[in-house]
Amino acid sequence: MKPEENKMEKIVSLCKRRGFIYPGSLIYGGLAGTFDYGPLGVTLKKNIENIWWKMFVENREDIYGIDAAILMNEKVWQASGHVDGFSDPLVEDLKTHRRFRADHLLEEAGVDIKGMSFDDMSKVILEKDLKSPDGNKLGPVVNFKMMFETRIGADAEGGQVSYLRPETAGGIFVNYKNVYDSFHPKLPFGIAQIGKAFRNEIAPRDFIFRVRELEQMEIEYFIDPKNWELEFENWRKSIWEFADAVGLPRENVHELEIPDADRAFYSKRTIDFEFDFPFGKKELYGLAYRTDYDLGRHSKASGEKMEYLNEETGERFLPHVIEPSLGVGRTMLAILSSAYSEDTVEGETRVFLKLSPAVAPVKVAVFPLLKNKPELVTKAREIFVALRKEISGVVYDESGSVGKRYRRQDEIGTPYCITVDFDTIEKDNTVTLRDRDTATQERINVDELVKVLKNKIVLN
């Protein structure tokens, strides 16, 4: 097994064992493409989302947050083009009837699929006599629709067709007019949303990289088309700033300019941000200039006017849009795979997650040196209670030896551990503060702890 594959296995196993991420519906054998976030995973996820929300909604005057319904009128997805066009190329193993993504099989066979239609893919499969991963002949490439269809209502005809939204962007476009009418913003302005999206992926794989129920953080940033190049450049930089803020190493993030032939016809420029995952360089985020395609389609289909009036020049036009689209799960997987580390401490292999304190689910753990010494326990609990009033993500632990507690905290990425010992209560009111990455300790006065920790957590 390649070391990087081995690393993925170790991450998946750590995530399950320590309560970050569990396979969905596990006691019933699971459900492919779904995962449940455990107590540490949900905190890590919320930390990522909060950084995004703070950076792009709270700290900006030009972006409005919303939370739209997941179920929407089917006309939304007809107008957006998803009902007809949101599909992936599917190919079937003619013997086992297992189904695969044709583009992925071709890429794995070294074929450059840029600009290929589904028919082109079928031809290449035939020409090269490509086999399925099980070694059998493959059928023709067909269109596989990725939206989950459902029915709403209890009437005899079976209700009205609806879809689980395949992206959060639809909810944003439908609320463009609402936000515009409520707040009268001037261009440029954006609408932001974090939420679930659903895609019936042909082959969910690579842990939480490709799932059927996912979470996205999306912004539609409405602009005057005259300024699109400048605004696009600003968003390109903002994505890098976000990647820095969640602690992704810059050397593992790469921009991929999507060539004309591979872009959606309405997009004038698209950049994919890719990340070096243990299973290869793959899409992390997308940034697209989508012109006025979406508002144009919704305005036409709904009959609602969506034009913007520039009060200074008297010009009326449909705003154009730039869309930074970020996956929460892929951010988390990028964070976990770059944070996963092993070293040797006191002759033993130590596993630790080098999480940035900004995203770490537990930021500080407080221990008494011994749990059977009430004076140590009382002091440690006192410090724990005081700290958690000031800092989020503080836990108390007294089970097992201190060495074991350090290992447990290292494994979940806790940046700092504090131990109360006899010097604390008998000598100088100091505790040890241990750094996860270096495993070194320093003594800090209890009265200084909040200040020292706050500085460290912000500085890192």
Q: 11 vs 211, which CB is nearer to ligand ATP?
A: 211
Q: 45 vs 210, which CB is nearer to ligand ATP?
A: 210
Q: How far apart are CA 213 and CA 195, in angstroms?
A: 10
Residue 370, helix vs strand vs coil: coil
Q: 201 vs 397, which CB is nearer to ligand ATP?
A: 201
CB 384 within 8 A of CB 391: no
| DSSP label of 352 | E
E runs forming strands in 146-264: 148-152, 160-164, 189-198, 213-223, 253-257
Shortest distance, position 362 Cβ to ligand ATP, whole Å:
25
Shortest distance, position 327 Cβ to ligand ATP, whole Å:
2
Binding site for ligand ATP (CB under 6 A): 167, 199, 201, 210-211, 214, 216, 283-286, 325-327, 329-330
Q: How far apart are CA 348 and CA 282, in angstroms?
A: 34
Shortest distance, position 453 Cβ to ligand ATP, whole Å:
33
Q: 186 vs 196, which CB is nearer to ligand ATP?
A: 196
Q: 216 vs 432, which CB is nearer to ligand ATP?
A: 216
Host H or E run for residue 395: strand 394-396
Q: 103 vs 224, which CB is nearer to ligand ATP?
A: 103
- Closest to 460 in 3D by CA, of 440, 436, 432: 436
CB 354 within 8 A of CB 343: no
Shortest distance, position 326 Cβ to ligand ATP, whole Å:
6
Q: 32 vs 301, which CB is nearer to ligand ATP?
A: 32
Q: How far apart are CA 20 and CA 362, in angstroms?
A: 12
According to DSSP, the β-strands at 364-368 and 416-420 are parallel
Q: 79 vs 239, which CB is nearer to ligand ATP?
A: 239
Q: 204 vs 357, which CB is nearer to ligand ATP?
A: 204
Shortest distance, position 225 Cβ to ligand ATP, whole Å:
22
Residue 154 neighbours by CB under 8 Å, 6+ apart = none
Q: 104 vs 408, which CB is nearer to ligand ATP?
A: 104
Shortest distance, position 203 Cβ to ligand ATP, whole Å:
10
Shortest distance, position 69 Cβ to ligand ATP, whole Å:
19
Shortest distance, position 432 Cβ to ligand ATP, whole Å:
41
Shortest distance, position 443 Cβ to ligand ATP, whole Å:
44
And the tokens for 239?
């994505």
Shortest distance, position 86 Cβ to ligand ATP, whole Å:
9
Q: How far apart are CA 317 and CA 150, in angstroms?
A: 36
Q: 189 vs 198, which CB is nearer to ligand ATP?
A: 198
According to DSSP, the β-strands at 189-198 and 213-223 are antiparallel
Tell the residue number behind the tokens 């154009």, with chain if given: 320
**Of all residues in this chain, which one has the CB nearest to ligand ATP in the complex?**
327
Q: What is the DSSP string of 69-135?
A: -SEEEHHHHHHTTHHHH-EEEEEEBTTT--EEEHHHHHHHTT---TT--HHHHHHHHHHHT---TTS
Give the relative orientation of helices 228-245 and 39-53 as an angle to the nearest 10 degrees: 150
- Closest to 398 in 3D by CA, of 380, 375, 383: 380
Residue 260, helix vs strand vs coil: helix
Shortest distance, position 177 Cβ to ligand ATP, whole Å:
24
